[in-house]
Amino acid sequence: MYKLIFVLACCCATAVQAAPYLPASGQQVLEAVPRRGDPLQQELRRLRSQLNANPNDAALAATVARRYIALGRSETDPRYLGYAQAALAPWWQQTAPPPEIRLLRATLLQSTHQFTPALADLKAVLAADPHNTQAWLTQATVQTVQGDYAAATASCAHVSSLSIELVAITCIANVGALTGKAERSEQLLDLTLVRSPNAPPELQAWALTLLAEMAQRRGDSAAAETRFRQALVLSPRDSYLLGAYADFLLEQGRSADVLALLRNQERIDALLLRRALALQQSGQQAAAQADVKELAARFDAAAQRGDTVHQREQARFELLLHRDSNAALALARKNWAVQKEPADIRIYLEAAAQAHDAGAAKPVIDWIAAHRTEDLVATRLMRQLRAGI
């Protein structure tokens, strides 16, 4: 069961980097350092010390990397992903590292949207071990993000024969909800969750988050609200969940709730973006502009590093905070070449609508038609584009 829980950390971990930050004064608190007496931190220090003494111990390195990835997830702190990669340094450039190391490398590669090498590693792991649940589920996640739904469905089918029901159905329903089976997928996942009261909290939170997003896309705000809140009780520091719920609240015009939700989450670029949008929505322009300035510095730093992980967020930044629809559309188009999730559809269509460029939106509109993707916001935006608004 521990490995199944770790799968969630693998599939959802996201690397977030920021530009250097200068505090306003020496009294300003920059970061709360984990207490040295924390048992988890003590255990990590012990393991890290052992690894420093034996850096080529693959089993020990894998243990350290797994711990850091899980901690990065639970603490909403992307720095731990860097620590995980450091633990794997002796094998990072190897063509064929040990399967356990290779799976962890794939996990970290997909977290920075390096999907092609991540999939190559996953396929190699599965060739050596066709019963590796983690590899099948991580592969299904990457394939879904890329919009390769047939391959994702096949990967989920393998998960169903290897894992507990809630994991398998969540995997399958996530694909079905994007391919014309939204109502049936939501009902099946909801029923499975009810039948799984003893499933680990991390698994329940994952399913609830997907259910909340399904309800949101079909316009059922009450159901979405209930599910988001239930998920937050189970996983209050989940950065993906926080961002998804913040987006829902912004749609509802509930900026005060967004600001309360995201308090002390400024180090995560995607969450800082949502806070800036909430400040703008609430009329707190001076505070919003401070966040805009910080976000611009972070995006500039990412561009200098050649980091394109956050093109979707940057497109939203340009469209909603800088009011530059053409820049937003260019970023949304680049992002669409990499990933095709519902949020990618929305920002592309919204940028095209604001730029009055229906032609630019044709690839996304065709994609929606081909895959029968159901989303009320996307439907509204397509109507705007057809009307030339």
CATH (domain of 125):
1.25.40.10
389 vs 380: CA distance, rounded Å: 11
CA angle in degrees (0–180, nearest 5) for 81-33-296 = 60
Domain shared by 102 and 4, yes or no: yes
Domain shared by 4 and 131, yes or no: yes
Domain shared by 142 and 175, yes or no: no
What single letter denotes the amino acid at residue 249? L
The predicted-structure confidence for 80-123, as pLDDT tens digits, reads as follows: 889 999 999 999 999 999 999 999 999 999 988 899 999 999 99
* The last residue of a domain, from among 141, 162, 183: 162
Residue 218 lies in a domain: yes
Domain shared by 228 and 330, yes or no: no
* The last residue of a domain, from among 112, 140, 162: 162
- Residue 37, pLDDT score: 55
Residue 46 lies in a domain: no
- Residue 306, pLDDT score: 79
- Residue 99, pLDDT score: 95
Residue 329 lies in a domain: yes
Q: Quick check: 138 and 360 in contact, CB under 8 A?
A: no
Domain shared by 133 and 5, yes or no: yes
Domain shared by 84 and 94, yes or no: yes
Question: What total of structural domains would you count in the chain?
Answer: 4
Q: Provide the residue range defining the domain that includes 135.
A: 1-9+51-162
- Residue 8, pLDDT score: 53
Residue 44 lies in a domain: no
Residue 22 lies in a domain: no
Structure tokens at 315: 């497109």
Domain shared by 1 and 95, yes or no: yes
- Residue 76, pLDDT score: 64
Domain shared by 227 and 126, yes or no: no
Domain shared by 4 and 141, yes or no: yes
Q: Quick check: 289 and 321 in contact, CB under 8 A?
A: no
Q: Which pairs from 38-44 meet CB under 8 Å and 24+ separation?
A: 40/71, 43/67, 44/68, 44/71
- Residue 304, pLDDT score: 86
* The last residue of a domain, from among 282, 307, 332: 307
Residue 39 lies in a domain: no
Domain shared by 1 and 125, yes or no: yes
Domain shared by 329 and 274, yes or no: no
- Residue 30, pLDDT score: 40
Q: Which residues contact 295 (CB under 8 A, 6 or more apart)?
A: 269, 272, 273, 276, 317, 321
Domain shared by 299 and 326, yes or no: no
244 vs 210: CA distance, rounded Å: 10
pLDDT in tens, the chain (389 residues): 545 545 554 554 443 333 333 333 333 334 444 545 577 788 888 988 999 999 999 999 999 999 999 888 766 677 888 999 999 999 999 999 999 999 999 999 998 889 999 999 999 999 999 999 999 999 999 999 999 999 999 999 999 999 999 999 999 999 999 999 999 999 999 999 999 999 999 999 999 999 999 999 999 999 999 999 999 999 998 989 999 999 999 999 999 999 999 999 888 899 999 999 999 999 999 999 999 999 999 999 888 887 778 899 999 999 999 999 999 999 999 999 999 999 999 999 999 999 999 999 999 999 999 999 999 999 999 999 988 75
Residue with tokens 């990933």: 339
Residue 15 lies in a domain: no
- Residue 39, pLDDT score: 79
CA angle in degrees (0–180, nearest 5) for 34-40-42 = 80
Residue 300 lies in a domain: yes
Q: Quick check: 146 and 122 in contact, CB under 8 A?
A: no
